[in-house]
Structure 1
């Protein structure tokens, strides 16, 4: 009984809805319709949660008025929604005027960023009609599309706590870590096979060696990263362009190496042409052209939401230095009942975003995506840092001749479980989580536990190459 009760509680939490402060304005005339972003106060205005149950009413255009007094409007607004301009008076004043004239809803157009309508607690009970804000550009667009009049409906579809984009993010991250770790181990196995054919130790390859050997170097590396994070926080607007250039170059180089390796492994021939004393591979030129082109396209359209879905991101209340650096100095807002601010013109975003997070557009946030495209995000460091451990585990499997690949498989599973726990805590708390807080203990404790059980903790911790680690009975590693 207790287990069933907890199961029902978890299901209720998982599929429960949260009230949003973004809504949808459905404008129609005949078979033509448009939908626009609205911002409202969920504790003030009562808006339907679906289009089918939303009340339809004709819209009266008082766009040139702020309706701060009854003299600024017609004698009656009975059973109509009214569109006014945000003026000098309080929104409560305009709402009470519209309500007393019989209006069923007040739509306030604003040329500034849209914040949640607010008033004194004592005024909330006086206003019985919905009061919403919309962009002035959207109001003008609706008036242009429907010059002969329009019917409007206001509705705010509830936002599910769980979005399918989270699953996509999980699959991409786990796939990247698993494939990268497997590739690293396969490369180590090939290197060891080549070393066995070489008699002289001096001629053996050391391409797979780690560059960080001592605790001093590790601490120096961590210190440099912390310093860079602080510099990015204070000098973001200048340093961000250096990181964008580095990201473009690094991504083009990484794509080139991966594609070249895949084409070579698939047996794709490399046609070459000679020019003087130099020989050039046409396949390499083609792959390089593709990689550079993709990198340049990303660099040119990195802020174009129509091409890359790169719009301002709505964050939870509260900012950390890491989130602030990753998403830009002006990124802010809220979700699911927090404070929000919708830009009056999304195309006029004036800051650059640091390319250090992976963004997947949310599928279910319909109202919020009308206001600003919503993303599920995961930092590249949450993939790269655990990925290094997964790669090391596969190499250690190769060094110890573990045909079951127990370290590699266990670490991959631990990474997936740690990431799922991260997303679960994020859903339950409605707050972004530092993924490494969960991934680090999951992956490290799993690999260390296996090493202890197998009595290989000293070899696993030392990180030595295969020759000093293995005993004489394990020398013919590649006999299979």
Structure 2
């Protein structure tokens, strides 16, 4: 679902919670190390992770000092014997991480004339921390550089390389937020409208099975409270398993997404394809699996297309330049298909699902950093992919759009903005319920429009929180209150809360049949004068002259015409 970092304990006051968060955030910042050959202007930027409490870096590359690199990557610089003769005057040593604390390395470098230090790490980049007295003693910048970048630097530049370290400011908001907003709100609106209209049509209209055109009615699943509890337990279990066994389970998730997205894409495109006037001919008789019923040619072509799109994404999923377009298209199709299939029967069920997942999202984002050794949120680690993952694979269950700004920090921070499918599906189920209720109560779609607007406002609040806190956010923290409270307010305003809460509006009102007066004729008649051309009365007519009998349930009402038609045939 949503993403974020940092922490707090539920028993601790909120002020302590936020104070702990900002202290944690201040321990490390991303920066850039601009390498170039001596005397040459062109160079290349590499990501570094530094602690501003040791020493701050300038924001502009022009203001940064270009210093000579002293390559000491064969040493860890933990003792005086590791210091070369003459020290590091007016240069920045590049050493390996390990065997001693950051403070010991920095102190040796500083007392030997270094103007800074780059520590090469084979593990994930963590803040080079120390205590307060150590921060006061050291006045040179300390930064961590990845081992892979160190190897690239050795291949790209000569031995007389120079480096300038700086920390550019990053724009608070990026234009890709507009794209994510339009995709999310559009998916919720279209999916909720489609699901509601389809459900009403299935309830109140007679569908004839037409084998010649292969019209298929997909079954819907009504969600019960037990199913909600089981679903949340499964989400928690899967999230924890992914956190501990990410490198193994990530391929299971990728394979599941490929299968589910191809089926969902077919489900979304088939209503449009079957309107086409061509491709209705069937394939010849055969014994092939899934083809023995002789499906139409256009069905096979659509199946091949959907599987091809999913397979193309699977093969090129790590191509950051364009693969995200396919992932978003498949993800939107998956969300639309799920919104059509899963149905919440009452507002009570909607409230239960949204509140439980609200707690789930907040717990795994804000509370789990206190329970993990790294101090990172389980939700963030799983959604964005662990930095120390050997596979470097990412979970596909998110909409992703690359950042559109030109900040150099795009090399460091994750280059994509993400929005989880859960942040679309969970509120989308409530929007679909509101649309069904609108149609049945003939309310001019006021519930549907209000809930969709509430979702959009909640997403905007998420973006504002993202900008203010400069961190990922659990979107359900804002989406759930905005959608639930908006729907509840409309129901209270229209005085329809009992019907809206229990879903009673989905039961059609009883149809009262007027009694038939069988003795009424065009002219006067008496007991002795029989009617002209009297019509025989059936037993049903006798019953109709009395009080109407209660109608059978809706499903039986819809089924009766088909039964009679069958008998007449």
TM-score between the two structures when normalised by the length of structure 2: 0.64
**CA RMSD across the alignment:** 4.0
Which runs of 5 or more structure 2 residues have no equivalent in the other structure?
Answer: 1-24, 209-214, 287-292, 328-363, 513-569
Does residue 86 of structure 2 align to residue 52 of structure 1?
no
State whether residues 325 and 354 of structure 1, in contact with CA within 8 Å, keep that contact through their aligned partners in structure 2.
no
Q: How does 1:308-457 map onto structure 2 within 5 Å? A: 319=368, 324=378, 327-328=381-382, 343=388, 348-349=390-391, 355-363=396-404, 366=407, 369-371=410-412, 373-402=414-443, 404-430=444-470, 432-457=472-497
Aligned length: 426
State whether residues 174 and 412 of structure 1, in contact with CA within 8 Å, keep that contact through their aligned partners in structure 2.
yes
Q: SS of 1:154's equivalent?
A: strand
Q: How much does 1:373 deviate?
A: 2.4
Alpha-carbon distance between aligned partners in 2 of 1:454 and 1:330, rounded to the nearest angstrom: 43
Q: SS of 1:102's equivalent?
A: coil
State whether residues 69 and 94 of structure 1, in contact with CA within 8 Å, keep that contact through their aligned partners in structure 2.
no
1:272 aligned to 278, 281, 287, which one? 281
State whether residues 365 and 377 of structure 2, in contact with CA within 8 Å, keep that contact through their aligned partners in structure 1.
no
Q: Deviations over 1:149-195 (max 9, x none)?
A: 22211111134443444333222211100111222344356557843
Alpha-carbon distance between aligned partners in 1 of 2:234 and 2:425, rounded to the nearest angstrom: 18
Q: Deviations over 1:35-73 (max 9, x none)?
A: 212111111122111212211223232332344427732
Alpha-carbon distance between aligned partners in 2 of 1:45 and 1:206, rounded to the nearest angstrom: 67
Distance 1:385 1:450, change over 3 A: same
Does residue 35 of structure 2 align to residue 27 of structure 1?
yes
Q: How much does 1:84 deviate?
A: 2.6
1:116 aligned to 127, 146, 149, which one? 127
Q: SS of 2:414's equivalent?
A: coil
State whether residues 27 and 53 of structure 2, in contact with CA within 8 Å, keep that contact through their aligned partners in structure 1.
no
Alpha-carbon distance between aligned partners in 1 of 2:462 and 2:126, rounded to the nearest angstrom: 30
Which runs of 5 or more structure 1 residues have no equivalent in the other structure?
Answer: 1-16, 199-204, 333-341, 473-480
Structure number with higher strand proportion: 1
Alpha-carbon distance between aligned partners in 1 of 2:82 and 2:28, rounded to the nearest angstrom: 35
Greater Rg by CA: 2
State whether residues 107 and 131 of structure 1, in contact with CA within 8 Å, keep that contact through their aligned partners in structure 2.
yes
Q: How much does 1:222 deviate?
A: 1.8
Alpha-carbon distance between aligned partners in 1 of 2:43 and 2:256, rounded to the nearest angstrom: 45
Distance 1:383 1:471, change over 3 A: farther
Q: Deviations over 1:207-249 (max 9, x none)?
A: 698643xxxx622112211331343255443766555443322
Distance 1:145 1:225, change over 3 A: same
State whether residues 270 and 281 of structure 1, in contact with CA within 8 Å, keep that contact through their aligned partners in structure 2.
yes
Alpha-carbon distance between aligned partners in 2 of 1:373 and 1:432, rounded to the nearest angstrom: 11
Q: How does 1:204-243 map onto structure 2 within 5 Å? A: 211-212=221-222, 218-233=224-239, 235-236=241-242, 237=245, 243=253
Q: How much does 1:462 deviate?
A: 4.4
State whether residues 18 and 158 of structure 1, in contact with CA within 8 Å, keep that contact through their aligned partners in structure 2.
no
Q: SS of 2:139's equivalent?
A: coil
State whether residues 326 and 354 of structure 1, in contact with CA within 8 Å, keep that contact through their aligned partners in structure 2.
no
